[in-house]
Amino acid sequence: MRRRTFFKSTVLGGALAAVPLTALLPAGTAVAAPTVSTLTDLQNAIDSAVPGDRIVLANGTYTVPSGGAISVSGKHGTSSAPITIVAESRGGAVLQGARSFVFSNSSNITVSGFAFRQSTTLEIPASCPRIRLTRNDFRFADITGLDWVVVRGDDAKIDRNRFHDKTTEGIFVVVDGPGSTAMAQRLHLFKNHFSGHTFAGANGGEPIRLGVSSRALSAAHAIVEYNLFERCDGDPETISVKSSDNVIRYNTIRDSRGGIVLRHGNRSTVEGNYLLDGVDGLRLYGDDHLVVNNYLSGLSGRALVIGSGTTRDHHSGETTEERRGNDACDRAVIAHNTLLDNAGGLSGESRTYEPRDVVIADNLLVGRTGSLVAMGKTTGFTWQSNILWGAASNGTIPSGGYTRVDPLLRQESDGVSRLSAGSPAIGAATLASPAVAEDLDGHSRGGARDIGADQYSTLAPIRRSLTAADVGPNAS
């Protein structure tokens, strides 16, 4: 597909119009897209765009008039030749006004490099699959109840953006779907930087909400990975999962009130996340989750909660109030996690329906105060090959489900404590299924697996906890 570019008006414009640009250049020459410099020219370029076009908006501040928008309607790129709308430089084109881009009946559109300063939600509607928002800076008006980005279309990609500085109720990214029960499919949300949400209310200030109670039983197949969350204090749930069949992996949550909460839904995986020096860690409700290779350290609240329920299982036909309740955690597998020096360790709750048939195996729990395990009533739990250590008491873990022994941790330059040579955790894991092929660092576990999130190795980690340099508009 030949890529078109958009020009400002020039004296030569008419003479060149009849001649394809590629005919004037040697074969294989790359052509930079010239810029448009007004919202009117931008709209005209979008209206005439075809697959492969790249539309560049010059740096500057642009105010979308009241009642207006930058409309992307009936425009379709392809997977190999999307229509790309990009700022001249990252963050250099600032969009002000109530609305910016409004999508309808479009697909394979990429929007990149803008600074969004709007006062209404940016929506990817259900009629718009394969929309990508990349390398943008989002700081909307600080309006109570304003959700910044809402995704309802399938196969959206939200990557390398920055979402920051909100003091009021409202969510940075909401993922819903068409109708009242369906979920947008296959969202990929990665390498974003979320920071500075200081809303002090009890609910409604999540950085990411993946679904809602009415959509809990719908599979979303979303992947949320390699995102950094710092000072996200707007809600006890930093990543709030309220749908089924999702993967939450390789994220870092640092110095934040909220944790990762599987609040509604079933069959999600939480893998290889760092939760550091904040308040809450992981909370689990629903059925058949897999929680492996997570590292939880320095949390002042509850590190890992296996939730009880107001109902045994959510099901179709529930009332709205029933669906908002808690679904007891059943048949989760919690393995190869490290809980280090948290105020609360692994704990339960006291609702009517106790969690059942959960496997807790090959975890490393180290603490200085309180109890390492504080579960209430449970049914059918399997406790296997966990290591406990430190001045904290064992708590309610049954005998036979653990060994109390010094795991010989060493704190390394990145602040993470890993196993040292001779640790009794090396080769001591016993859970056969499901297989956990890699550790927190991305190293292969091989046949002789170690207890905890780290597999002992002299090699440098492939994955580490994230910093601001790893995420956001300038990330690789």
pTM score = 0.93
* pLDDT for res 321: 86
Q: Which of 226, 261, 246 is nearest to 470 (CA)?
A: 226
Question: Do 248 and 270 touch, CB atoms closer than 8 A?
Answer: yes
Query: Across residues 206-214, what is the average pLDDT?
Result: 97
Write out pLDDT tens, residues 443-467.
999 999 999 999 999 999 999 999 9
Which CATH number applies to 160-417+458-476? 2.160.20.10
pLDDT band at 13 (very low <50, low <70, confident <90, very high): very low
Interior/surface letters 76-94, b for 16+ CB within 10 angstroms, e for the rest: bbeeeebbbbbbbebbebb
Q: How far apart are CA 200 and CA 353, in angstroms?
A: 30
User: For the chain, which residues make up each domain, given as ranges?
Assistant: 1-119+127-144, 160-417+458-476
Whether 17 has a pLDDT exceeding 70, the answer reads no
What are the tens digits of pLDDT across the range 154-196?
A: 999 999 999 999 999 999 999 999 999 999 999 999 999 999 9
Average pLDDT, the chain: 93
Q: Are strands 409-411 and 417-419 parallel, antiparallel or unpaired?
A: antiparallel
pLDDT at 20 over 70: no
Confidence of residue 240 (pLDDT cuts 50, 70, 90): very high
List, for residues 314-370, the tens digit of each pLDDT value. Answer: 999 898 888 999 999 999 999 999 999 999 999 999 999 999 999 999 999 999 999
Task: Quick: pLDDT tens for 355-386.
Answer: 999 999 999 999 999 999 999 999 999 999 99
